[in-house]
Amino acid sequence: MAKKNPHLNPETFRDSLATVQEDGKRNWVYPKKVSGIFYKYRSYLSWVLLAILFAGPFIQMNGRPYMLFNIFERRFIIFGAAFWPQDTYLLIFLLLIFFVFIILFTVVFGRIFCGWFCPQTLFMEMVFRKIEYLIEGDANQQRQLNEGPWTGEKFVKKGIKLTIFAVISLLIGHLVMAYLVGVDQVKTIVSQPPSANMAGFIGLIAFSGIFMFVFSWFREQACLVVCPYGRLQGVLLDNNSINVMYDYVRGEPRSPIRKNQAILEPKGDCIECSLCVQVCPTGIDIRNGIQMECVNCTACIDACDEVMVKVDRPKGLIRYASENSIKQGFQKLITGRVKGYIVVLCILIAAFVTLIATRDDIKATITRFPGMTYQEREDGKVTNLYQITLINKTFESQKVELKSLVDGIEVELLGNQELILDAQSKFEGRFFLVRNQDEVKVNQEKVKLSVIYQGEELDKIETNFTAPIN
Ligand code: SF4
Ligand code: SF4
């Protein structure tokens, strides 16, 4: 038997959650299969987006990944540009731009992202749900199967479904790891015994397990109780934001179609068929207005449009619209608030582009060797020891030179090594500054060092040179 959806009562829907029963147990949502123009276009788009998502880690530029989010080594490659821990300020800028863009997009277009682009919705509705329909049938058949006894048929259906779910979860787990550590590293992890790459192996299993849990059981709860974006809707949306909305002006007072209705008092277009509720993957009734649980999946639009065609009324009783467009009949997209966000976004993008354009390819840091002051040599020279750290952010090997800008002070690299940096690498070395003892005039003097890269001064670094006065 279908459980009564508490949201069908407009007086009490805000006092309860569609997915939680009165005794606190989970109210499992069985969304009815939907078809229609929006579902068709969402399906097409989902295949394109899933193809891009799965191809992402394999896309390379000059042998390097195009996208890499190696949080373990704090190394990121975004659209081919490498970011090091020293570039954290750039990543913070990038995140700020992303957040302001999301806010701006949400203020104007509501949660379109959730329904059309979010990976959770893509996988849940366009992959796992479709497989479930294929194996277990539509909503009523699924409910009967779940509530019925464990027969041979139920074992087979559940077994096949969970096996396929597990395989896809493993695929997604490997995909996420490929974005984090790169495809080559994932290949190494899977081709060697687990003990050879225990951390990587645990990562693969953990991610796969999480996806299996989310898509086979947790489902819409990820959007309702975990996703912070959904929870922000209350502060982001206003009466001009476009959302999936029920046109209550046209739809109310709702009433089932009855014979001789024409002679009764006029009724709204909603015929109370409840199909919009039956297809909703989060179990809500959109006729109660915008709700945090609505992921803008458009299933209710398709379902209602189909009904409207059948009862010979115009489509769009549920449609993309704003509260103002329904209530007052006009739509204003570019409000003062939107203009404000656009200005902030432009400033952030301009600042980010400037920072990227002026970012050094090589980063140099020089510090005195801890615990040492000076050393006196038998040949009458005095030396100070320093540490140099160089980071090559480019994808080519680079040679760097170090020169003293003070007459009489020379740079002497330890072991006479050259400062040659491998691509995308960090180099740590030591060097002496050397001065003739008889030229020392003060105990401590400032020394400027020039870091030269590709024949040009990359950086000028100031340090101290300490020596005794005889
Ligand atoms: S599908 Fe349309 S007609 Fe049916 S209950 Fe929902 S809003 Fe009313
Ligand atoms: S209310 Fe409509 S758009 Fe929102 S989640 Fe439910 S079916 Fe999708």
Cα 270 to averaged position of ligand 1 atoms, centre (Å):
5
Which residue is listed with tokens 């002070």?
A: 409
Closest C-alpha to 231, from 221, 223, 241, 240: 223
- DSSP helix/strand/coil, 143: helix
Three-state secondary structure along 340-389? HHHHHHHHHHHHHHHHHHCCCCEEEEEEECCCCCCEECCCCEEEEEEEEE
Q: What local confidence, expressed as pLDDT, does residue 262 receive? A: 55
| The residue type at 402 | L
Question: What is the rounded average pLDDT of the residues 116-138?
Answer: 97
Listing DSSP states for 272-311 in one string gives ---HHHHT-TT---GGG---TT-----HHHHHHHHHHHHT
Report residue 210's pLDDT band, with 50, 70 and 90 as the boundaries. very high
Question: What is the rounded average pLDDT of the residues 209-238?
Answer: 92
- Alpha carbon 146 to its chain centroid, in Å, reads 34
- Separation of alpha carbons 249 and 1, rounded Å: 33
Cα 24 to averaged position of ligand 2 atoms, centre (Å):
23
Q: What local confidence, expressed as pLDDT, does residue 9 receive? A: 54
- DSSP helix/strand/coil, 413: strand
Question: What is the rounded average pLDDT of the residues 110-129?
Answer: 96
Check whether 5 has a pLDDT greater than 70. no
**105: region left, alpha or beta (phi > 0 left; psi from -120 to 50 alpha):** alpha
Closest C-alpha to 268, from 244, 246, 288, 289: 246
| The residue type at 60 | Q
* Token pair of 165 as six digits: 């779910």
pLDDT digits (tens, 9 = 90+) for 150-188: 999 999 999 999 999 999 999 999 999 999 999 999 999
The finding on whether 318 has its CB within 6 A of some atom of ligand 2 is no
Report residue 193's pLDDT band, with 50, 70 and 90 as the boundaries. very high
Check whether 3 has a pLDDT greater than 70. no
* Token pair of 46 as six digits: 């989902």
Q: How many CB atoms lie within 10 A of CB 453?
A: 21
Site residues for ligand 1, CB cut-off 6 Å: 246, 251, 254, 270-276, 287, 303-304, 307, 317-318
Report residue 6's pLDDT band, with 50, 70 and 90 as the boundaries. very low
Q: What local confidence, expressed as pLDDT, does residue 260 receive? A: 60
| The residue type at 98 | F
**233: region left, alpha or beta (phi > 0 left; psi from -120 to 50 alpha):** alpha
Nearest CA to ligand 2 atom 3: 296
Higher pLDDT, residue 395 or 270: 270
Listing DSSP states for 188-238 in one string gives HHHHS-GGGGHHHHHHHHHHHHHHHHIIIIITTHIIIII-HHHHTHHHH--
Q: What local confidence, expressed as pLDDT, does residue 182 receive? A: 92
Check whether 7 has a pLDDT greater than 60. no
| The residue type at 417 | Q
Q: What local confidence, expressed as pLDDT, does residue 138 receive? A: 97
Nearest CA to ligand 2 atom 2: 300
Q: How many CB atoms lie within 10 A of CB 209?
A: 14
What average pLDDT is seen over the chain? Answer: 90
**410: region left, alpha or beta (phi > 0 left; psi from -120 to 50 alpha):** beta
Range in 44-58, 334-348, 385-399, 433-447 with the lowest mean pLDDT: 385-399
Question: What is the rounded average pLDDT of the residues 12-19?
Answer: 72
Q: What local confidence, expressed as pLDDT, does residue 1 receive? A: 37
The finding on whether 295 has its CB within 6 A of some atom of ligand 2 is yes
* Token pair of 345 as six digits: 């976004």
Report residue 285's pLDDT band, with 50, 70 and 90 as the boundaries. very high
Q: What local confidence, expressed as pLDDT, does residue 86 receive? A: 78
Question: What is the rounded average pLDDT of the residues 203-231?
Answer: 95
Rg (CA), the chain: 32
- The pTM assigned to this predicted structure is 0.82
Nearest CA to ligand 1 atom 8: 270
Nearest CA to ligand 2 atom 5: 294
Question: What is the rounded average pLDDT of the residues 245-263?
Answer: 81
Cβ-contact 46, 126 below 8 angstroms = yes
Report residue 267's pLDDT band, with 50, 70 and 90 as the boundaries. confident
Strand partners, 449: 404, 461
Give the CA distances from residue 174 to residues 54, 75, 178, 185, in Å, rounded to whole numbers and listed in that order. 10, 19, 6, 11
Report residue 61's pLDDT band, with 50, 70 and 90 as the boundaries. confident
Question: What is the rounded average pLDDT of the residues 436-445?
Answer: 91
Range in 71-75, 156-160, 162-166, 219-223 with the lowest mean pLDDT: 71-75
Higher pLDDT, residue 258 or 88: 88
Question: What is the rounded average pLDDT of the residues 74-83?
Answer: 84
Range in 1-10, 92-101, 146-155, 222-231 with the lowest mean pLDDT: 1-10
Check whether 416 has a pLDDT greater than 70. no
Query: H or E element: which one contains 326?
Result: helix 323-327
Report residue 2's pLDDT band, with 50, 70 and 90 as the boundaries. very low
